[in-house]
A = this chain, B = another copy of it.
Amino acid sequence: MPATKPFDLSVYVITDSRLSRGRSNLTVIKEAIAGGATCIQLREKDLPTGQLFHAAEALRELTLQKGITFIVNDRLDVALAVEADGVHLGRDDLPVAAARRIMPPEMILGVTARNVQQALQFQEAGASYLGVGAVFATFTKGNTGKPIGLHGLAEIVQRVKIPVVGIGGIKAQNAGDVVSAGAGGVAVVSAVVSVVDVAGATRDVARAVYAARSQQRG
């Protein structure tokens, strides 16, 4: 595994402009950072490259100012062009090993995994962390199949060496369980970006994460 720059998956907020009540990603993410987001992922599947580049540029500037890790979903070219901290690859994106080959070694490579076999394969191919799920039922990403549950998440965490962030149907009420199952953090989309009070919703998720973590330690 390459030595990447440090990153903190604790409260990992993913954009979805379709769910953001007409607010720009920049507006929403400013609020999320105010509420305690530790990592931001720009995920926009339907923008032309040029528009995605400009959206990424704005979030890169903001996250640099705030000292927050910034990841671009799918588009490694855009991630490279704006000097994002990393890229996150899902099932329909570049093969993990192919992406790793053309990335600077310090750049973070996140990969979505649904089961132990994928998790081990992607770790081997150079993933820096895994997004594992869907932990709970969700509609944010379209049809993502049957949730793997906290048990499925825990199984993967136990088998890999790299950090795991839980994703799928996570909100303040169940974020603690995800951390207790061994995840290094929780990824949230609609629980944060679709609500009126983005900062408040992020704060609730962050509290749940840190409470569960201090219980683990205590």
Residues of A within 8 A of B (CB): 48-51, 53, 74-78, 80-82, 91-95, 98-99, 101-102
Contact for A81 among B48, B50, B99, CB less than 8 A? B99
Query: What's the nearest-Cβ distance from chain B to residue A75, in Å?
Result: 6
Query: What's the nearest-Cβ distance from chain B to residue A200, in Å?
Result: 35
Taken together as a complex, chains A and B put the C-alpha atoms of A53 and B77 apart, in Å, by 13
**What are 12 of the A-B contact pairs (CB < 8 Å)?**
A48-B93, A49-B92, A49-B93, A49-B94, A53-B95, A53-B98, A76-B81, A77-B94, A78-B94, A81-B95, A81-B101, A82-B98
Chain B residue numbers with a CB within 8 Å of A102 are 77, 80-81
Query: What's the nearest-Cβ distance from chain B to residue A167, in Å?
Result: 19
Closest to A92 in B: B48
Indicate if the CB atoms of A74 and B49 lie closer than 8 Å: yes
Q: Which of A48, A81, A95 has the most CB of B within 10 A?
A: A81
Query: What's the nearest-Cβ distance from chain B to residue A210, in Å?
Result: 35
Taken together as a complex, chains A and B put the C-alpha atoms of A23 and B19 apart, in Å, by 38
Q: Which of A48, A53, A74, A102 has the most CB of B within 10 A?
A: A102
Chain B residue numbers with a CB within 8 Å of A76 are 77, 80-81
Indicate if the CB atoms of A81 and B98 lie closer than 8 Å: yes
Chain B residue numbers with a CB within 8 Å of A77 are 75-78, 80, 94, 99, 102
Query: What's the nearest-Cβ distance from chain B to residue A68, in Å?
Result: 22
Query: What's the nearest-Cβ distance from chain B to residue A77, in Å?
Result: 4
Chain B residue numbers with a CB within 8 Å of A81 are 76, 94-95, 98-99, 101-102
